[in-house]
Amino acid sequence: MSDLPRKAVTRTAKLAALPLGFAGRTALGLGKRIGGRSAELIATELQQRTAEQLFSTLGQLKGGAMKLGQALSVFESALPEQIAGPYRAALTKLQEAAPPMPTASVHAVLSERLGGDWRELFEEFEDKPAAAASIGQVHRAVWHDGREVAVKVQYPGAGEALLSDLTQLGRLARLLGPLIPGMDLKPLISELRDRVAEELDYGLEARAQRAHAREFADDPDVVVPDVVHQGEQVLVTEWLEGVPLSEVIAHGSQEQRDRAGQLLARFLFSGAARTGLLHADPHPGNFRLLTGGCPDGPPEKWRLGVLDFGTVDRLPEGLPPTIGTALRLTLDGEAGAVHELLCAEGFVKPEIELDPGAVLDYLLPIIEPAQTERFTFTREWMRAQATRIADPRSPAHQLARQLNLPPSYLLIHRVTTSTIGVLCQLGATVRLRDEMEEWVPGFAEPEESREAPA
């Protein structure tokens, strides 16, 4: 058995088979329709088979293929329910597990990177991985000083596989489009490819994780395990015991969902403000809920455990004030000011002429969660936004095509939309406005504009 399907020809063939399989099933569906079966029934069946093939292939290949699958997993809430159902089960599998690499390969990496006497660093080491993801897998162990630790081991050939997969998937983006209705895959794949070097560098990851661990030490709401040891392809961190966020999504009570959602929103906005870094991989597999040893007790005291700092956006001043200012002005109905700000920041190119009122109409439904004291995120709400923007006949779609997303905002946009996708999977009621007023520069009303008390 190989560590990771590395041969480019093998991986390319598997990925190239995805759109071919989709086309074949479509032709089969046409034949069944001619034979008398209903179009709706056939479409559902085709989507289910397509989902199974797509995410089975992405999970088996790991590397960039699985990275794309995990990135897509947070957007299933935007899909129509008859499509989302078949996708949901397949996507969830990618959030927590992937086929593991052989034990002998793990030992070989540890021996090469930590030295032939690597076992002396541990009191205990579990050969069976506790988790396996896109470019590495995690083993539970006990460090030589008695601390429980997580040992992250990078797959041999992970860099080659990441680049190969994402290059091939980029070429297939147009053909893969029908597999995820309403989503443009090419920019997502391109952005993932741009982050390959950082994803593979455990030194960068260790520095980002240490910065978060220092800042959130003794925090009442967020827990980040500290780094114990770091090597070229091995990263040892403190072990974090908790309930996977995916379990709360699948089985949690409403109170548990609300608490998890509030903590997720708090970390999204406070992390960048407090550390100058934005955790940029917010899929459910990277979060745990720490229940204080009582998972069935009241969730008010739950804390959010955050894992995997392999991809971060460096924002030394926190989130750009333009974001908060534009949101506040939009909520205040200041169409002209919003349009002027978007033009100045490059969201509207100089040669494009847009009606400020139309821009406001486009933005208001998207930022609805910030309009009220509490907002309940639902799949129906996310679906309505996706449909409004994806429908070529809608004014929102036409306007969206004329807007530009400056490169410096690409990762911020993906992290924000991904987090909203997870909140919709949770169905959580969240005080989002409170978090934004505290942590997003420019969102709170400036002091000088507030009326003095009578």
* Whether the model pTM is above 0.95: no
Burial letters 179-193, b for 16+ CB under 10 A, else e:
bbebbebbebbebbb
Instruction: Give the angle 95-217-144 at the CA atoms, nearest 5°.
Output: 75
State residue 141 phi and psi, 5-degree precision: -155, 175
Cα of first residue to Cα of last residue in the chain, in angstroms, is 77
Give domain limits for the chain.
Answer: 8-96+171-182, 103-158+198-238, 321-447
Q: Is 142 helix (H, G, I), strand (E, B) or coil?
A: strand
* Pick from 93, 71, 100, 97: nearest CA to 1: 100
Q: Which of 258, 281, 308, 313 is catalytic?
A: 281
Task: Tell how far CA 46 is from the center of its chain.
Answer: 26
Q: Is 281 a catalytic residue?
A: yes
C-alpha–C-alpha distance, residues 198 and 310, integer Å: 7
C-alpha–C-alpha distance, residues 252 and 266, integer Å: 19
- CATH, domain range 103-158+198-238: 3.30.200.20
C-alpha distances in Å from residue 116, one per residue of 113, 120, 330:
9, 9, 60
Burial letters 296-316, b for 16+ CB under 10 A, else e:
eeebeebbbbbbbbbbbbebe
State residue 432 phi and psi, 5-degree precision: -70, -40
Q: How many CB atoms are located within 10 Å of the residue 108 CB?
A: 14
pLDDT per 10-residue tile (average), the chain, 454 residues: 47 55 41 40 50 57 59 64 58 56 91 94 95 83 98 85 73 60 66 76 95 97 97 95 93 96 97 96 91 82 94 93 95 96 94 94 93 95 86 87 87 90 95 96 74 49
| Residue 214 confidence (pLDDT) | 98
